[in-house]
Amino acid sequence: MAGLKLSLYLGCTVATDEYAYELSTLNTLPKLGVELEYLEGASCCGSPLMSVNMKSFAYLALRNLALADATGLDTLVLCPGCHLAFYEAAHYAEQSSQLKEELNALLSNEGLNYQGKVKAWHLVDLLHDGLGLDKIKSAVSKPLKGLRLATHIGCHAIRPSRLPRVDDPENPVKLDRLVEALGAEVVDYPEKLDCCGAGFLLGNPQAGLTVAGVKVKALQARGVDGLVVACPLCHKMLGQKQQSASQVVGAELDLPVIYYTQLLG
């Protein structure tokens, strides 16, 4: 995959709040031979509409994929939730040729046409499957020897298993291997597949903070040096909201939560 060129889809959370993910991606991937250009005209992935109106959700998601189709470039999607939305919408549209025609008729008002020609990569499968571990290892100049790190892949990266996802839903290991490729030790832990709590944040913030706090507390008890993530909402819940979560779970929380791209750079 030498000289790979991709469009970059940020999604709402990365662009407005979790821009450390964006900046570290732009800083590191070119060093691995990946050229990135922003997907011009991109909008929300549509996922907030999924439980309200599937057709509206699919339109928004396919609109972004149609923009990617027009570039002829595969697209890098930093947020697993957006990545899932694109695969969910594509699957939904392919179930009915009539629905696909209706959606493309709407897209034609913008001169767009969804064809499904390009692949949507998430950061983890791009690095692990697309570029490969050997390429990552060969680019390391300062191995992270002595660091004990845990990983959190995030729910949307691995579920639902009926759709193409980033890693195995029961035993995700790709992010672990990527961290090990940088020289760090990966620490396994029983709560590895537990949610970050973001799904509760709007409806029941207390529950969301409890879920996040319990996970961070468990990791601190295992003495890890940090937690590595590749999801903006997981970073927000497990990192940014530690102070709020500490008040809910009654424990002092102070665990570094790091994007994989920050480790790379």
Which domain CATH number covers 13?
A: 1.20.1050.140
Diameter of the chain measured on Cα atoms? 57
For residue 156, what is the DSSP state? H
Residues 217 and 164 in one domain: yes
Same-domain check for residues 99 and 175: no
96 and 160 share one domain = no
Count of Cβ atoms closer than 10 Å to residue 134 Cβ: 9
> Would you state the pLDDT for residue 2?
55
User: Which phi and psi angles does 112 have, rounded to 5°?
Assistant: -110, 155
Asked whether residue 169 falls in the same domain as residue 238, the answer is yes
Q: Are residues 114 and 20 both part of a single domain? A: yes
Residues 155 and 217 placed together within one structural domain of the fold: yes
Provide the domain limits for residue 101: 4-122
- Considering 61, 92, 122, which residue would you say is the last residue of a domain? 122
Q: What is the pLDDT of residues 114-151, one digit of tens each?
A: 999 999 999 999 999 999 999 999 999 999 999 999 99
The three-state secondary structure class of 150 is strand
Dist CA 127 CA 10 (whole Å): 17
Q: Which residues of the chain have pLDDT under 70?
A: 1-2
Of 122, 157, 173, the domain-final residue: 122
Can you spell out the DSSP letters for 181-208? TTTPEEPP-TTTTS--SGGGTTT-HHHH
Give the number of C-alpha atoms closer than 13 A to the C-alpha of residue 5, restricted to the C-beta side.
Answer: 7
Residues 183 and 98 in one domain: no
Residue 27 lies in a domain: yes
Of 135, 55, 43, 112, nearest in space to 88 by CA: 55
- The SS3 assignment for 117 reads coil
C-alpha to C-alpha distance for 8 and 151, rounded to whole angstroms: 24
Rounded to whole angstroms, what are the CA distances from 111 to 34, 48, 73, 108, 205?
29, 25, 18, 5, 41
In a domain, 127, yes or no: no
Which has the closest alpha carbon to 150: 186, 103, 190?
186
| 31 in Cβ contact with 139 (< 8 Å) | yes
pTM score of the predicted model: 0.96
Identify whether residues 106 and 151 lie together within a single domain: no
Q: Given 122, 150, 171, which residue is the final one in a domain?
A: 122
State the Cα–Cα distance between residues 86 and 109, nearest whole angstrom.
20
Domain count across the chain: 2
Q: Which of 7, 88, 14, 74 is nearest to 44 (CA)?
A: 14
Query: What pLDDT was estimated at residue 1?
Result: 52
Euclidean distance between CA atoms 9 and 116, whole angstroms: 16
Query: Residue 250: how many CB atoms within 10 A of its CB?
Result: 8
**Pick from 43, 25, 226: which is nearest to 121 by CA?**
25
- The runs of H, that is alpha helices, within the chain are 11-16, 19-28, 54-71, 80-94, 97-107, 123-125, 133-139, 155-158, 174-180, 205-221, 232-235, 242-249, 260-264
